[in-house]
Amino acid sequence: MNHLQELIDWFEHLSPATVDRVPDFYAANAEFKDPFNEVRGTEAIARIFGHMFTQVDEPRFVIDSRFSGEDGVMLLWDFHFRTRGRRPQAIRVRGASHLRFDAAGKVVLHRDYWDTAEELYAKLPLLGAPMRFLQRMGRA
């Protein structure tokens, strides 16, 4: 099994018990950026993944596609989770991750791309209706 497939398998089976494997896949000074975070280093990256398990229930990634090029790999994914509260809701967020690797095959850059308004806020119980209204107004 190649290193990329091992990384994908880790993403797809990520759990509180496996978050500590970040240094197995990421270089010590790796950069991570998503719409909410921008950090450097394996400890900070592990905190972001670990925090996910405190914020939502049943989080899991499903990698749909991968594209390789000179500048690294692009993974297309769905992130599934359940909201917490009186009326838990199943949510799916679609996104992509751009990964660059060092000579040892460890991630040195992990940049996530996804639309927080369409993929998250519009699906949440309290924010959903106003966000969908604003989206319709923008299309008018």
pLDDT tier at 1, thresholds 50, 70, 90: very low
Instruction: Burial-class residue 7 by CB neighbours within 10 Å (0-12, 13-18, 19+).
Output: buried
pLDDT above 80: residue 67: yes
- Model pLDDT for residues 7-30, shown as the tens digit of each residue: 999 999 999 999 999 999 999 999
pLDDT at res. 60: 97
Percent of the chain with pLDDT over 70: 81
* pLDDT the model gives residue 116: 67
pLDDT, position 124: 57
In the chain, the percentage of residues whose pLDDT exceeds 90 is 68
For the question of whether the overall pTM of this predicted structure is more than 0.75, the answer is yes
Q: Lowest mean pLDDT of 20-24, 60-64, 135-139, name the range.
A: 135-139
Strand partners, 91: 81
User: Where is mean pLDDT largest: 37-41, 70-74, 117-121?
Assistant: 37-41
**Amino acid 118: pLDDT:** 57
- The DSSP 8-state label assigned to residue 21 in this structure reads G
Structural domains in the chain, CATH included, are 3-114 (3.10.450.50)
Nearest to 91 by CA among 100, 99, 79: 79
Residue 127 pLDDT greater than 60, yes or no: no
Q: What is the DSSP string of 51-80?
A: HHHHHSEEEEEEEEEEEEETTEEEEEEEEE
